Chain A
Amino acid sequence: MSSSIESLISREYQHGFVTDIESDTMPAGLSEDVVRAISAKKGEPAFMVEWRLKAYRRWLSMKEPHWPNVHYGPIDYQATSYYSAPKTKKPLGSIDEVDPELLKTYAKLGIPLYEQKMLAGVAVDAIFDSVSVGTTMRSELAKHGIIFCSFGEALREHPDIVEKYLGSVVPYSDNFFAALNSAVFSDGSFVYVPKGVRCPIELSTYFRINSADTGQFERTLIVADEGSYVSYLEGCTAPKRSTNQLHAAVVELVALKGATIKYSTVQNWYAGDKEGRGGIYNFVTKRGKAAENAKISWTQVETGSAITWKYPSVILQGDNSVGEFYSVAVVNNKQQADTGTKMIHIGRNTKSTIVSKGISAGEGNNSYRGRVQVLPRATGARNYTQCDSMLVGNRCGAHTFPYIEVGNNSAIVEHEASTSKIGEDQIFYLKARGLSAEQAVSMIVSGFCKEVFKELPMEFALEAQALLGITLEGSVG
């Protein structure tokens, strides 16, 4: 899959998205007026502005959570501007103006120069017709009745579906950051797959739109109707910079009877410098609800951000529904991650699998936090959790916080955990076979993460593997 094509499509999309926002940045601060103004600028239907306002009022009564095992200074929510037009970013004149460290990373990921320019925000001339590529893909999807568009577009063209499912999995009152997102979200993705349809391609945010600029408060809603299947890829291995430090996204997945949703993420937001300065705070709420015989599978590779706070979860509501969570979380330098999942077993014979691989290097701090809850009526529920941590060096930290609540005595819940240190003997063994220290670390870590990588689409897996090596660069002498 060529990401230059994808980047071009995104670029094109930005231009066609909303007019009259050329120099439009709202003054800093948050109030009901600001929420109303955001909704008005986007031309949203009435239910949406009401929903945003309810979320905002709820948010006012909530407190920022401090239970995660991460540390950061106070965030001034009134100092942020909650609406900024995508086109205001001034493109750089040439590639020479781009941070050379960033370019080095792009080169190591094997990203062609042209794409490097796109990613780094250098002005580029379009060299081929991106509109036609986008249109071809969309018409292919339309043949199957699949809707894949920006959230804003969905609100304009399919308001009934949005209204029906928005907040049905993550209510606006869910938590502090979800409430904030609900009040001010800028844009995001929307997918609807009709009954019995198997989506023929992997849907990727690459194909979608202005993801570079809607990143701050992104909102994604995926609805898989009865018996349908969709695989969705979010993110990009190339490191992305953002002018906004706080990111609070919400993703809701709705898998109706017998549907399957596979959601894969590679998160590589800017992690800050070696001291952790300037990195993104990534506070994300991701949750899916699985009806009878439905399946939701989350796979994530988290390598970026200064702070990650994220628990992709599944509510196993219907009988025989299945939830899966496969995660690789890497921290290096001063990065902090508190990530894991919740599996809520409500239906009978529900099954969940959790495989979490945490890698800590430098002075990074990595916590797995997971909840497995079996409700009284969930007869025959099964959970298997495997939670492995790997330490690189001796200044990093790995923590595990598993919560298990079982309310039905027919349930079988297994939890396995291990912590290992990357061995000097392993590194020497590989070096003695001609591999560099970096290749050795990358190989050992990839092996450690194998069970998760095999859940990723092939090409994504290879990129993720390369990314892991780069993230850990310099962590072993």
Chain B
Amino acid sequence: MSLIEIKDLHATVGDKEILKGIDLTVNAGEVHAVMGPNGSGKSTLAQVLAGNPAYEVTGGSVTYDGKDLLAMQPEERAQSGIFLAFQYPVEIPGVSNAYFLRAAYNEIRKAHGEEEIDPLEFADFMEEKLALVDMNASMLNRSVNQGFSGGEKKRNEILQMAVLQPRLAILDETDSGLDIDALRIVADGVNKLKRPDNATIVVTHYQRLLNYIVPDFVHVLVNGRIATSGGKALALELEDKGYDWVTHGSSPLPAGAA
């Protein structure tokens, strides 16, 4: 059985239809890249899967682990193993990163019928997680994302992913705003978290990240639909020829649809 199956998914924000019929199936153990020009609906897809109420699903279905994902609250999705690494991580002033991470981790443990972990155990648990994204323990005492640099925010997202150990991770433009060293650290973290029983959807505008996180499949989103899919070579081809190649060339869509 596939981990997630998206069928003919339509979504709007305000009056504007952004997703116009997405079909995508992801199995455990796979890495999928979703690429596309600005405004093609990549981030909307990520937000809709995580349950952001700012977007309204107007048609289609999403089955996750045999369940109707669209009927679940965002927190239920998170508790059942969906993780969205935000393109723009949100600041929560006055709440320490450690407190936030432990609260989130405990909610997910509770959802699995496990006992809550106390602060001391959690500190031990965090040591290896921090190493994974090359972060200093002092980051844990700072307020969530407040005053973090762009790179720190993205690393903090991957740190959360390491702590919450999702079954389906969705990385929304995790590479944006990262210099090459930070990019490598973030990608290394993601690769180390890869397991046969989990899957990753990497949403990105640029091919660059895919040098580090190598996808099994690449999908190109144009104007709210997947215009074409292929293996990792497709990403290189896109890099070479630009998105115009998809929108004009092999796509059945009208020109200039981006």
What residues of chain A have their CB less than 8 Å away from a CB belonging to chain B? 423-426, 428-437, 439, 443-444, 446-451
Question: Smallest distance from the beta carbon of A458 to chain B beta carbons, Å?
Answer: 14
Q: Is B160 an interface residue (CB 8 A)?
A: yes
Contacts of A449 in B (CB 8 A): 94
Interface window among B72-80, B178-186, B215-223: B72-80
Q: Are A432 and B95 in contact (CB under 8 A)?
A: no
Contacts of B104 in A (CB 8 A): 430, 433-435
Q: Are B92 and A430 in contact (CB under 8 A)?
A: yes
Closest A residue to B79 by beta carbon equals A434
A sample of 28 inter-chain contacts (CB < 8 A) reads A424-B53, A424-B54, A426-B91, A428-B52, A428-B53, A429-B89, A432-B50, A432-B52, A432-B77, A432-B78, A433-B100, A433-B104, A433-B160, A434-B78, A434-B108, A434-B111, A435-B75, A435-B107, A436-B107, A437-B75, A443-B99, A443-B100, A444-B92, A446-B95, A447-B144, A448-B93, A448-B94, A450-B94
Contacts of B73 in A (CB 8 A): 431
Closest B residue to A445 by beta carbon equals B94
Q: Are B164 and A433 in contact (CB under 8 A)?
A: yes
Contact A429 B90, CB 8 Å, known A434-B75, A434-B107, A434-B164: yes
Q: Is B103 an interface residue (CB 8 A)?
A: yes
Question: Smallest distance from the beta carbon of B99 to chain A beta carbons, Å?
Answer: 8
Q: Is B63 an interface residue (CB 8 A)?
A: no
Contacts of B52 in A (CB 8 A): 428, 432
Q: Are A426 and B103 in contact (CB under 8 A)?
A: no
Most buried by A among B50, B75, B144, B164: B75
Q: Is B143 an interface residue (CB 8 A)?
A: yes
Report the separation of the CA atoms of residues A29 and B194 in the bound assembly, to the nearest whole angstrom: 77
Chain A to chain B: the 4 pairs with minimum beta-carbon distance, closest first: A447-B94, A447-B95, A450-B94, A434-B107
Q: Are B95 and A443 in contact (CB under 8 A)?
A: yes
Report the separation of the CA atoms of residues A444 and B99 in the bound assembly, to the nearest whole angstrom: 12
Q: Are A429 and B86 in contact (CB under 8 A)?
A: yes
Q: Are B160 and A446 in contact (CB under 8 A)?
A: no
Closest B residue to A449 by beta carbon equals B94
Cross-chain contact of A432 among B54, B74, B92, B100 (Cβ < 8 A): B74
Closest B residue to A444 by beta carbon equals B92
Question: Smallest distance from the beta carbon of B32 to chain A beta carbons, Å?
Answer: 20
Most buried by B among A431, A433, A436, A450: A433
Contacts of A436 in B (CB 8 A): 75, 107
Q: Are A431 and B78 in contact (CB under 8 A)?
A: yes
Contacts of B189 in A (CB 8 A): none
Closest B residue to A440 by beta carbon equals B75
Closest B residue to A447 by beta carbon equals B94
Question: Smallest distance from the beta carbon of A326 to chain B beta carbons, Å?
Answer: 14
Closest A residue to B160 by beta carbon equals A433
Closest A residue to B105 by beta carbon equals A434
Question: Smallest distance from the beta carbon of B232 to chain A beta carbons, Å?
Answer: 28
Question: Smallest distance from the beta carbon of A439 to chain B beta carbons, Å?
Answer: 7
Report the separation of the CA atoms of residues A451 and B94 in the bound assembly, to the nearest whole angstrom: 8
Report the separation of the CA atoms of residues A431 and B77 in the bound assembly, to the nearest whole angstrom: 9
Q: Is B51 an interface residue (CB 8 A)?
A: yes
Report the separation of the CA atoms of residues A430 and B111 in the bound assembly, to the nearest whole angstrom: 16
Closest A residue to B77 by beta carbon equals A432
Question: Smallest distance from the beta carbon of B86 to chain A beta carbons, Å?
Answer: 7
Question: Smallest distance from the beta carbon of B148 to chain A beta carbons, Å?
Answer: 14
Q: Are A432 and B84 in contact (CB under 8 A)?
A: yes
Most buried by B among A434, A444, A446: A434
Closest A residue to B107 by beta carbon equals A434
Question: Smallest distance from the beta carbon of B170 to chain A beta carbons, Å?
Answer: 10
Report the separation of the CA atoms of residues A428 and B87 in the bound assembly, to the nearest whole angstrom: 13
Given contacts A431-B78, A432-B77, A434-B104, 16 further A-B contacts (CB under 8 A): A424-B54, A428-B53, A429-B92, A432-B86, A433-B78, A434-B108, A435-B75, A435-B103, A437-B75, A443-B103, A444-B92, A446-B95, A447-B95, A447-B143, A447-B144, A448-B94
Contacts of B95 in A (CB 8 A): 443-444, 446-447, 450
Report the separation of the CA atoms of residues A301 and B92 in the bound assembly, to the nearest whole angstrom: 21
Question: Smallest distance from the beta carbon of B34 to chain A beta carbons, Å?
Answer: 18
Question: Smallest distance from the beta carbon of A287 to chain B beta carbons, Å?
Answer: 30
